[in-house]
């Protein structure tokens, strides 16, 4: 079945460092891909999405490009802030499973001043 | 309201008791999903509703778990005879329709603790 694999955390960075969180997927058909973020004590928020190959999703300085040839959707940010400290989840959504989200295991990011 | 609303936000109960968790989706959203977030299992799908029907219940872990949705709006997840392994955060999400393009919007969850 469909699955998502993320790099394991926790990831600890200094403020203004470059961030990459790797995400790869296995899916039949052509899923949409999402990054969700969960700040401490809060629910899941949609960060960005891409619905077809070569689409780039972006929001709040974060970017991810849907790469069908490598089945990847890596999350990047050029300069992280302390306020970016959170857990990040990569997810896919296909048409043939009622549209349920399949999540990766989450990657905890901690940004130090 | 503007977002997905879940209640209660926290629930502590004794093993063996029944619990009901409520989800009020974004107005107009026809698709509604329940997920469970626990330390050992990550985020797991439980059940999905399209309108008042539940075409996919494959994620419900046992027959102690059930859910319903009425009026194409509010949904209730019921856990009977709770066990300690049911302790988790239960998340509800809704989307405009159930196709792959639409994002799902999540509530803040209900943190369930079984003593």
CB contact under 8 Å between A100 and B56, yes or no, is: yes
Percent residues over pLDDT 90 in chain B: 81
pLDDT at position B15, please?
A: 96
What tokens were used for A73? 């959707």
Nearest CB to B33 within list A43, A45, A100: A100
B70 has a pLDDT exceeding 60: yes
* Selected residues 3-62 of chain B with any CB under 8 Å from a CB in chain A: 31, 33, 35, 42-43, 45, 48, 50, 55-56, 59
pLDDT at position B1, please?
A: 52
Cis before A87 (ω within 30)? no
Q: Is B80 on the interface with A (CB under 8 A)?
A: no
Q: pLDDT per residue over A45-99, tens digit each?
A: 999 999 999 999 999 999 999 999 999 999 999 999 999 999 999 999 876 667 7
Residues in contact with B17: Cβ distance below 8 Å, sequence separation at least 6, in sequence order: B81, B82
Cis before A10 (ω within 30)? yes
Phi-psi region of B109 (alpha: psi -120 to 50; beta: other; left: phi over 0): left
Nearest CB to B100 within list A36, A42, A95: A95
């Amino acid at each position: 079945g469909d699955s998502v694999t993320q790099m394991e955390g926790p990831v600890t960075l200094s403020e203004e460092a470059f961030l990459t969180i790797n995400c790869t997927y296995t899916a039949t058909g052509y899923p949409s891909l999402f990054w969700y973020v969960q700040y401490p004590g809060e629910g899941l928020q949609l960060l960005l999405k891409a619905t077809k190959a070569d689409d780039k999703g972006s929001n709040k300085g974060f970017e991810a490009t849907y790469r069908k040839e490598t089945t990847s959707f890596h999350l990047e940010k050029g300069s992280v802030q302390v306020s970016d400290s959170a857990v990040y989840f990569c997810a896919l959504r296909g048409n043939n499973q009622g549209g349920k989200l399949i999540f990766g295991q989450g990657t905890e990011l901690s940004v130090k001043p | 309201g503007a977002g997905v609303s879940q209640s209660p936000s926290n629930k502590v109960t004794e093993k063996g008791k029944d619990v009901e968790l409520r989800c009020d989706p974004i107005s107009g959203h026809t698709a509604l999903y329940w997920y469970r977030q626990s330390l050992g299992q990550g985020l797991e799908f439980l059940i999905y509703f399209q309108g008042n029907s539940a075409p996919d219940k494959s994620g419900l872990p046992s027959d102690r778990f059930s859910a319903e949705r009425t009026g194409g709006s509010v949904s209730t997840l019921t856990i009977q005879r709770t066990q300690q392994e049911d302790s988790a955060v239960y998340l509800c999400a809704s989307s405009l329709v159930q196709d792959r393009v639409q994002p799902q919007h999540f509530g803040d969850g209900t943190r369930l603790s079984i003593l």
